[in-house]
Structure 1
Amino acid sequence: MSDMLLIVSFLSPLLIFIRILVTLLRNKNSRKKSICIVVLGDLGRSPRMQYHAKSFLNEGYHIDLVAYPGSDPLSTLVKNSFVKIHYLKPTPLFNNIALPKLLIYVWKTIWQSINLLWILLINIRSSSLMLQNPPAIPSLPVCWLFCRLSSTEFIIDWHNYAYSIMALSLSPNHPLVKITKFIESYFGKKADKNFCVTLAMKNDLNDKWTINANVLYDRPPKIFKPIDLEEKHAIMMKLSKKYQEFSVNEDDACIFTEKLSNGEIKLKENRPGFIVSSTSWTEDEDFSILFDALNEYESCCSNENLNYPDLICVITGKGPLKDFWNKLINEKIKRKEWQHIKVVTPWLENQDYPKLLASADLGVCLHKSSSGLDLPMKVVDMFGCGLPVCAYNFKCLDELVKHNENGFHFTNKQQLCQQLKTWFINFPNNQQQIELNKKFKDELNKFQELRWHGNWSSVVLPCFNN
């Protein structure tokens, strides 16, 4: 009798699971225009997947979003009754127990697998599922399993390769890197549809794994646009109340702009140069290149025979290495190594970030690309705001940034510093820079003619209509 009770107690959870699964298969939602979008990361910091959701929403789709909480998602998604957001639970960590990193990784993978599959089985009745890759583990096998059990279309949106990112902190020959690469190749070939971010990635997916993907270039939504001087003054004044680097001892003025007694707003003639960089503070961005270039620029500013303005460098974003770089910045400030340069690392509200980009004089992108096959969305945002960019060069960067046409390429600190000096010498009255800026912005105006939804409608929507 006791053995029978033991067997029953063991089988009960399995029977419940099978019953849920059978219910799912029997009660499959009959709506064709529905999609589940899965991000094994912070939803608010996954702009491309949020843009996918907005575009599907514009086409009358019901949307389920599965992701981790963190930064605020777009308000249009949060407030719409056609959108349901299902948040994953963070992995419980044993902070008081010293465990090997491999064991922690295994535990995290098991927890994420169960949590993700449970949410999908209980909540999702969509006809299609689109998964952001990377990360690949455990989201690729879990989402594939769910899609096959529930007869749901399985779609992968390739932003990069998970194995190439993992190799940055481990090594290309590490067992975990090899396992991740196998999982990406195996389940990538089982997807019903694939999209990717560059032509170079499309070719690589096909050549390496015989995966046929459609190229969907990132394009800026309409919120990323040039702004007028009044809007620039407003965002600068807002920042000056929070960050002393922007403030001055004048009423209705900041370090860049001022409002005259007649109400007119003007740029200050003796203002500093304003550069901006956006980052997720990860291993694929080496900020030592920027800081070394700023060190050299500082030396130029100290030369009285050269006419270079002071610089304010704003670096936005969150990420694991932010504290490390902030510590280095603070050390430079304490040692007074930068007398003509100020660096600010704010986290901005969604509505303020595009205005900050549109107010800057020059953008800097240090994204190296672990695979050499993806493009930095931060540059797309900058281009949408009409901001020329100095971007670290890698093999497919030409698909976005064209050297001396809409921005600059650099590969080391010397090249970046030279570009800063070219841009800011005799600022803001350098006629050569003014003409170069006009040339760049003419190209960026053409880039801005095709926005996210227009591009999405020509690439993604036909795949669903068919």
Structure 2
Amino acid sequence: MQYHAMSFAMEGFRVYLVGYRGSTPHEQVLKNEQITLHHMHEPPLFITKLPKLLGYAVKVIWQSVMLAWTLLLLPNMSSIFIQNPPSIPTMLISYIVSRIRFSTLVIDWHNYGYTILAMALRPGHPLVTFSKWYEKKCGGLASYNFCVTNAMKEDLLSQWNIRAITAHDKPSELFQTISLEQQHNLFCRLSKEYPVFASQDNAIDHTRFTQKNTDGAVAKVDGRPALLMSSTSWTEDEDFGLLLDALKKYDQLPSTDTFPDLVCVISGKGPQKIFYTQQIADYNWKKVKFCLPWLAAEDYPLMLGSADIGVCLHKSSSGLDLPMKVVDMFGCGLPVCAVNFQCIRELVHHDENGLLFHDSEELFTQLKDLLFRFPKMASRLKLYRENLASFQELRWHSQWRKIILPIFYKIGGIQMSAFDLPGFLEDDFDEEAKKEQ
């Protein structure tokens, strides 16, 4: 939603971005005079001490009141633009306020909330059934709908008779191929906190991956390890154990020049991070090293641009959405190994810009093949990078102007509210399920 906010602001819209306090928004959002952040009050802590179902009911009432109050107090706005999921109570409250304020409701469909809920409960659970009915009814109340895949567009129409416009995610201008000097500066800065980036000989202006020569030019270090980058939410729908099993197999390969050492940078926060951090610590690694940072918004694109290979563990609950993290990786020219699911081929073209895998054994084989005699013979990685050049040509704002902006010109007005809020049923039940595992 931050990308939408920045694009609206670039086109002269006044944007009110509504949400809870959490991760710091990107600097371009914070410093943009066209964008105003409106933070809602978090539900009170006493709710967590109530019986589970009562707590959920009280929380959704709290969220409904806070959201309605916040939207009603905003200055005049021509439209309310929401991202789904979360669905409850966002969709219904946004529709009610849009009717009261004579604004147009627009929904950006990234997935279905009820399918996320079904992962935590079961497909036939009464709450899942209610959530699906609610999503269908409320989704049909929007004046305009966007979605992120052609498969979702077809599903919305066939299942719920909702007509949507496909707007595939594209990388923002923040995600670019970067220079060796930028990589070197990033590694130097991170090496002060994370030893895996530091030079083994402690030489000045040297890192594990780059070095600055006497003439001031930056070069890659001979015999350097390969750098693998993955971003995960550390949740059930992104099985980190799959990557961990593949890396254990890779770690057992002979310690020769045939297969390089591997440094794995795994960014993100989530409920299973502590569990897997302990698993990593308990294993006697030989060829593989780990770094689990929480990267600043400005450093994340730089890390993607510095990596040799990306891994995406995202498995869609509906099979109809696409992982934005792969879009970002492609924007930086980073080839990806991604979990195969229903519509991932709308983004990852197998053996053209990356590879698709089903299990840890397949991922291990792909890593072994791609990194054979790295970096001297990494011809497939080089080919994938070359094939990504065409993907990098079309950026977020250019596509946004072609597909999304005309709809808001049609709506009229230059003030709008955009928000992306934590859900009630989807987030809470998913979190409870993870705690019980």
Task: Give TM-score, length-normalised by structure 2.
Answer: 0.91
Query: Which residue of 220, 225, 235 corresponds with 1:272?
Result: 225
How does 1:307-318 map onto structure 2 within 5 Å?
A: 307-318=258-269
How does 1:26-175 map onto structure 2 within 5 Å?
A: 49-94=1-46, 98-175=49-126
CA separation in 1, counterparts of 2:236 and 2:55? 21
Please list the CA deviations of residues 398-445 of structure 1 after superposition, one character each: whole Å capped at 9, or x if unmatched: 100000011000000111001100111111112xx32x2232122211
Which secondary structure does the structure 2 equivalent of 1:448 belong to?
A: helix
CA separation in 2, counterparts of 1:424 and 1:398? 23
How far off its partner does 1:293 sit?
0.2
Question: Are 2:284 and 1:340 equivalent residues in the alignment?
Answer: no
- Partner in structure 1 of residue 428 of structure 2: none
Which secondary structure does the structure 2 equivalent of 1:263 belong to?
A: coil
2:175 and 2:332 in contact (8 A); partners too: yes
- Partner in structure 1 of residue 434 of structure 2: none
Q: Which has the higher contact order (CA 8 A, sep 6+)?
A: 2
- Partner in structure 1 of residue 282 of structure 2: 331
Query: Which residue of 243, 253, 272 corresponds with 2:206?
Result: 253
CA separation in 2, counterparts of 1:403 and 1:172? 31
State the AA in 1 paired with 2:230.
S
Question: Are 2:305 and 1:354 equivalent residues in the alignment?
Answer: no
How far off its partner does 1:124 sit?
4.2
CA separation in 1, counterparts of 2:19 and 2:206? 42
Question: Are 2:407 and 1:463 equivalent residues in the alignment?
Answer: yes
State the AA in 1 paired with 2:225.
P
State the AA in 2 paired with 1:104.
G
State the AA in 1 paired with 2:387.
E
How far off its partner does 1:80 sit?
2.5
Which secondary structure does the structure 2 equivalent of 1:300 belong to?
A: coil
2:26 and 2:298 in contact (8 A); partners too: no
CA separation in 2, counterparts of 1:84 and 1:461? 20
CA separation in 2, counterparts of 1:407 and 1:100? 47
Which secondary structure does the structure 2 equivalent of 1:94 belong to?
A: helix
Question: Are 2:183 and 1:232 equivalent residues in the alignment?
Answer: yes
How far off its partner does 1:259 sit?
1.4
Calculate the aligned-residue CA RMSD, in Å: 1.4
- Partner in structure 1 of residue 314 of structure 2: 367
Q: Point out the more displaced range, 116-125 or 285-294.
A: 116-125
Which segments of 5 or more consecutive residues in structure 1 lack a partner in the other structure? 1-48
CA separation in 1, counterparts of 2:249 and 2:231? 21
- Partner in structure 1 of residue 332 of structure 2: 385
How far off its partner does 1:144 sit?
0.8
How far off its partner does 1:330 sit?
2.2
CA separation in 1, counterparts of 2:151 and 2:164? 11
Pair 184,124 (structure 1): closer, same or farther in 2 beyond 3 Å = farther
- Partner in structure 2 of residue 211 of structure 1: 162
1:368 and 1:394 in contact (8 A); partners too: yes
How far off its partner does 1:325 sit?
2.1
Please list the CA deviations of residues 79-98 of structure 1 after superposition, one character each: whole Å capped at 9, or x if unmatched: 22222111011111228x74
State the AA in 2 paired with 1:121.
L
Identity %: 49
Which segments of 5 or more consecutive residues in structure 2 lack a partner in the other structure? 411-437
- Partner in structure 2 of residue 289 of structure 1: 242
How far off its partner does 1:102 sit?
1.8
CA separation in 1, counterparts of 2:147 and 2:248? 38
CA separation in 2, counterparts of 1:446 and 1:61? 30
Question: Are 2:402 and 1:449 equivalent residues in the alignment?
Answer: no
Look at both structures and tell me which one has the larger radius of gyration over its CA atoms: 1
How far off its partner does 1:113 sit?
0.6
Query: Which residue of 125, 128, 134 corresponds with 1:183?
Result: 134
1:239 and 1:246 in contact (8 A); partners too: yes
Task: Give TM-score, length-normalised by structure 1.
Answer: 0.85
Which secondary structure does the structure 2 equivalent of 1:330 belong to?
A: helix
Question: Are 2:370 and 1:426 equivalent residues in the alignment?
Answer: no
Which secondary structure does the structure 2 equivalent of 1:195 belong to?
A: strand
1:301 and 1:309 in contact (8 A); partners too: no
CA separation in 2, counterparts of 1:207 and 1:189? 13
How far off its partner does 1:231 sit?
0.9
CA separation in 2, counterparts of 1:250 and 1:101? 57
CA separation in 2, counterparts of 1:427 and 1:274? 11
CA separation in 2, counterparts of 1:185 and 1:124? 30
CA separation in 1, counterparts of 2:37 and 2:110? 22
- Partner in structure 2 of residue 6 of structure 1: none
Please list the CA deviations of residues 108-153 of structure 1 after superposition, one character each: whole Å capped at 9, or x if unmatched: 1111011111111122421100011101011111111111111110
1:301 and 1:310 in contact (8 A); partners too: no
State the AA in 2 paired with 1:437.
L
Which secondary structure does the structure 2 equivalent of 1:339 belong to?
A: coil
